[in-house]
Amino acid sequence: MIFFLIGCVISGAIAGGLGRLILPGRQNISVFATIAAGAVAAGVGTGIAYLLGFADRSWLVFVVQIVLAVGCVAIVASASGKKSGS
């Protein structure tokens, strides 16, 4: 279980950063919020991969995690209350 959580944080940092790069505009959220959103996306994405049976394809799991990270970063950015824009 601890290795799963550590893996979620590490892949969440990468997925959250990529999700933030993919999301258009500027997101005024902290690095911690980006990593947290990415970690949630990584955990949920891995769970979806196991449920749908493609957990053995790591590249596909990572794509799902990035797509979910874009959504999580967008939700966190909109809920932060700060104005976003360029």
Residue 28 in tokens: 């005024």
Indicate whether 82 pLDDT > 70: no
Indicate whether 12 pLDDT > 80: yes
More confident position, 72 or 86:
72
Over residues 21-80, the pLDDT tens digits come to 998 888 888 899 999 999 999 889 989 999 999 888 888 988 999 999 999 999 998 888
Q: What is the pLDDT of residue 8?
A: 82
Q: What is the pLDDT of residue 27?
A: 84
- Closest by alpha carbon to 15, among 76, 54, 61, 81? 61
